[in-house]
Amino acid sequence: MQKLDPVNILKESIAPFVISVEKVAHVQPNNTLEHALLILIKSGYTAIPVLDTNFKLHGLITKAQILDSILGIEHIEPERLETTKVSAVMSKTLARMKDYEPFERALSYSINHPFVCVEDDLGAFIGIITRSKLLAYLNGYLHEQKKTK
């Protein structure tokens, strides 16, 4: 990642922190929960974005939501994985911001969200910013500060 001016970091654009769409594991609203669970397990992530074929963001889906959706009163009902669509279970409220918005907004979102979805002005999904990337940058910055004192 390019070196950002630490003094102005809070006002800087989040663009350098974005993991671009082609590297982001995702599912589509009409995929089955079985497919989504496979992607989540194989990728090792607990939550991933839901995008349509035009790369428009619809929500996010988590392993916990999928597992919750197959809980019957007394049994787990795995057959529901094949018949239920992602759109029926995903959350539609999520942390999202535009690619030109500042670092401070991403930082404040990342207190409660493991990742923030980034879109362009036309609403096309560009990628995500993860909490670990922001923390890694801040950690590096704080250590630099310590050395110069």
Q: How far apart are CA 1 and CA 103, in angstroms?
A: 14
Distance CA(14)–CA(107), nearest Å, equals 10
For residue 85, what are the CA distances in angstroms to 39, 68, 89, 135?
Answer: 14, 14, 7, 34
Nearer to ligand AMP, 5 or 22 (CB): 22
How many residues bind ligand AMP (CB under 6 A)? The answer is 14
Q: Which residue is closest to ligand AMP by CB?
A: 132
91: nearest Cα among 110, 70, 133, 63: 63
CB of 84 to ligand AMP, least distance (A): 21
Binding mask 94-123 for ligand AMP (x = CB under 6 A): --------------------xx--------
The verdict on 27 binding ligand AMP (CB under 6 A) reads no
> Would you tell me which residues interact with ligand AMP (CB under 6 A)?
19, 23-25, 45-48, 114-115, 128, 130-132
